[in-house]
């Protein structure tokens, strides 16, 4: 089952050097989750052959323009592409008003319904769940209300060890073993032990998205042990004071959070437009947390199970 993240935009406040405003697409199982939607995201979705029609859930962390100004255009394009099924939109208070105001003045009625889920920027809460995945929002510390998102696969079934399979095993036995329960066949009196007939379940993967935020240790227990952590690193380490003043983070701060949270891999991004070359970002972050990579547009990051 895929669990892969496509980077659609990786810059902060202004586009520069071919880098655009923040947006990411997480494909996990049957879901395509769009995370933030900076200006021009619809074009990057086309450019990187992402499946716009398959996106049913859009998560907007906060209402700074570089995180949502591509949303209205995307919603209009979905309408023009004859979308008819609901879109679920998760965002801060006011995002619905921003959308409705623009729909009103353009005298537009979309072919599909937008189901708006207002985030509570003060608590961690479960905002989505299906049979494969759970999504949580949690507070970040930014200049305006801002949420991070945690995407977690649900526990997976035990895997039947095909080498141990016999022709007489029943479907009930397989179903029971997959759930991690031993099974006794009433007819044959044969006993099937989980430890004998199965391999352990595949890992349930998780992705934590933290943008935008100043250095904040309060998030550590929430994102603990995530396989992949995106943490903003708007500035290089020498700009720590400025980062703090603007409620952003540096490379070293992102690295510290990754290390303390014991994540598998750290992905940094949201680079300030003042930097042309972003190589120093990954070099600095790796001084604290070795397994760090840069967000680069068009890149696909796969998390293995």
The binding site for Zn(2+) comprises: 62, 64, 66-67, 142, 212, 270
Rounded to a whole number of angstroms, the minimum distance from the CB of residue 199 to a copy of itself is: 47
Rounded to a whole number of angstroms, the minimum distance from the CB of residue 72 to a copy of itself is: 6
Whole-number Å distance between alpha carbons of 106 and 221: 45
Whole-number Å distance between alpha carbons of 23 and 34: 7
Nearer to a copy of itself, 7 or 301 (CB): 7
Pairing of strands 183-184, 206-210: unpaired
Residue 234 binding a copy of itself, by CB under 8 A: no
Residue 143 binding a copy of itself, by CB under 8 A: yes
Nearer to a copy of itself, 67 or 205 (CB): 67
Whole-number Å distance between alpha carbons of 121 and 95: 13
Angle value at C-alpha 44, between 40 and 46, nearest 5 degrees: 120
Nearer to a copy of itself, 74 or 237 (CB): 74
Rounded to a whole number of angstroms, the minimum distance from the CB of residue 43 to a copy of itself is: 5
E strands present in the chain: 3-9, 23-28, 31-37, 55-59, 87-91, 114-118, 125-129, 133-139, 147-153, 159-160, 183-184, 191-192, 198-199, 206-210, 228-232, 265-269, 292-294, 300-302
Nearer to a copy of itself, 69 or 194 (CB): 69
Local structure of 290: helix, strand or coil? coil
Residue 46 binding a copy of itself, by CB under 8 A: yes
Pick from 84, 101, 161, 291 the residue near a copy of itself by CB under 8 A.
101
The residue from 36, 66, 216, 218 that is catalytic is 66
Closest by CA position to 253, among listed 226, 264, 241? 241
Rounded to a whole number of angstroms, the minimum distance from the CB of residue 259 to a copy of itself is: 32
Whole-number Å distance between alpha carbons of 184 and 210: 47
Whole-number Å distance between alpha carbons of 132 and 156: 8
Rounded to a whole number of angstroms, the minimum distance from the CB of residue 172 to a copy of itself is: 52
Residue 76 binding a copy of itself, by CB under 8 A: yes
Residues 6+ apart with CB under 8 A from 54: 32
Q: Is 227 a catalytic residue?
A: no
Residue 250 binding a copy of itself, by CB under 8 A: no
Residue 97 binding a copy of itself, by CB under 8 A: yes
Rounded to a whole number of angstroms, the minimum distance from the CB of residue 246 to a copy of itself is: 11
E strands present in 202-249: 206-210, 228-232
Residue 63 binding a copy of itself, by CB under 8 A: yes
Q: Give the torsion sign (CA, 20, 102, 143, 124).
A: negative
Pick from 144, 175, 199, 245 the residue near a copy of itself by CB under 8 A.
144
Residue 43 binding a copy of itself, by CB under 8 A: yes
Contact 172, 160 (CB under 8 A): no
What are the catalytic residues? 66
The contact set with a copy of itself (CB under 8 A) reads 13-16, 20-21, 39-40, 42-43, 46, 63-66, 69-70, 72-73, 76-77, 80-81, 92-95, 97-98, 101-102, 104-107, 143-144, 273
């Amino acid at each position: 089952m895929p669990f892969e993240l496509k980077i659609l935009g990786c810059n902060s406040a202004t586009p520069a050097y071919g880098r655009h405003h923040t947006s990411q697409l997480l494909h996990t199982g049957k879901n395509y989750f769009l995370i933030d939607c900076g200006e021009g995201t619809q074009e990057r979705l086309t450019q990187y052959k992402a499946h716009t029609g398959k996106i049913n859930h859009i998560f907007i962390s906060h209402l700074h323009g570089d995180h949502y100004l591509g949303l209205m255009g995307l919603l209009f394009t979905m309408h023009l592409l004859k979308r008819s099924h609901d879109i679920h939109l998760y965002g801060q208070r006011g995002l619905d008003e921003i959308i409705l105001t623009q729909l009103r003045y353009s005298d537009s009625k979309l072919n599909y319904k937008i189901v708006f889920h207002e985030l509570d920027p003060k608590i961690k809460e479960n905002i989505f769940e299906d049979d494969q995945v759970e999504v949580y929002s949690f507070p970040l510390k930014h200049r305006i209300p801002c949420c991070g998102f945690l995407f977690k696969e649900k526990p997976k079934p035990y895997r039947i060890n095909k080498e141990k399979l016999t022709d007489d095993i029943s479907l009930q036995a397989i179903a029971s073993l997959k759930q991690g329960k031993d099974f006794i066949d009433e007819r044959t009196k044969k006993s099937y032990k989980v430890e004998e007939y199965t391999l352990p379940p595949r890992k349930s993967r998780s992705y934590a998205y933290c943008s935008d935020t100043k250095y904040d240790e309060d998030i550590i227990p929430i994102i603990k042990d995530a396989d992949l952590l995106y943490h903003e690193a708007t500035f290089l380490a020498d700009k720590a004071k400025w980062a703090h003043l603007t409620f952003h983070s540096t490379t070293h701060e992102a690295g510290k959070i990754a290390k303390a949270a014991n994540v598998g891999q750290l992905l940094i991004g949201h680079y300030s437009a003042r930097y042309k070359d972003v190589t120093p970002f990954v070099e600095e972050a790796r001084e604290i947390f070795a397994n760090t990579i840069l967000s680069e547009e068009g890149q696909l990051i796969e998390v293995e199970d």
